[in-house]
Amino acid sequence: MRLYLASTSPARLALLRAAGIEPVLINPDVDEARVVAEAEAAVGSALEPRILVELLARAKAEAAVSASLQKPLTGLLLGGDSVFVLDGVIYGKPHTAEAARERWERQRGRTGTLYSGHWLIEVADGVPGRAIGAAAVAEVTFADDLDDAELDAYIATGEPLFVAGAFTIDSLGAPFITSIIGDPSTVVGLSLPTLRRLVRALGHEWPTLWNRPGAL
């Protein structure tokens, strides 16, 4: 069973590869701000984090199906999205060093919540069929002894600028995380246990996705 990944995230790709899956990558062309704005206008309020990440995961997956009509897909197509929540405020990627610094000033020594959304579509010859989605949640606690010099050095690497919450647990940011409650892969941006559950809900067995050398 071929898995298609509607994401450009190196972390999601590395996570799947470590789990024995070599996905086919598709870059989803989605205006996330527009998708969220339209959804919030429809309901008349801001979206809850669980709903937000599942909405964007679905938008990415559906956009990837549409983008691949010239080369029809057959298999399972996954879209994903993540946000970090602290004090009720939803944070995505900071994009700038200044924003990353501001966020770390708030979150070091504290605990926040990472939400990762998943949307899985069954596709046959380019035609989308059954689809299912879910959000996974994990609590992340940051070191309280992270000093300014370490923080400046971390931000200078550029890593925190392009990840939800301005941190990672699978790379340079890992030493600054003291505990995680929940599935750690959720924090990376794709919950493997959640994905397995969705795959099985569509009637497929997880081992059928293994296609990397050494996985069989």
Q: How far apart are CA 114 and CA 117, in angstroms?
A: 10
Q: Kindly name the residue from 29, 31, 81, 145 that is annotated as catalytic.
A: 81
User: Is 81 one of the annotated active-site residues of the chain?
Assistant: yes
Q: Which two tokens stand for residue 171?
A: 């790379």
Q: Is 202 exposed, middle or buried (0-12, 13-18, 19+ CB in 10 A)?
A: middle
Q: How far apart are CA 45 and CA 19, in angstroms?
A: 38
Q: How far apart are CA 100 and CA 94, in angstroms?
A: 5
E strands, 39-162, are 75-86, 89-91, 111-124, 127-142
Given a contact cutoff of 8 angstroms between Cβ atoms, the answer to whether 119 and 35 are in contact is: no
Kindly write down the DSSP assignment for every residue of 122-155, as one continuous string: EEETTEEEEEEEEEEEEEEEE-S---HHHHHHHH
Query: 160-177 burial string, b = 16+ CB within 10 Å, else e?
Result: beebbbbbbbbeebeebb
Catalytic residues: 81
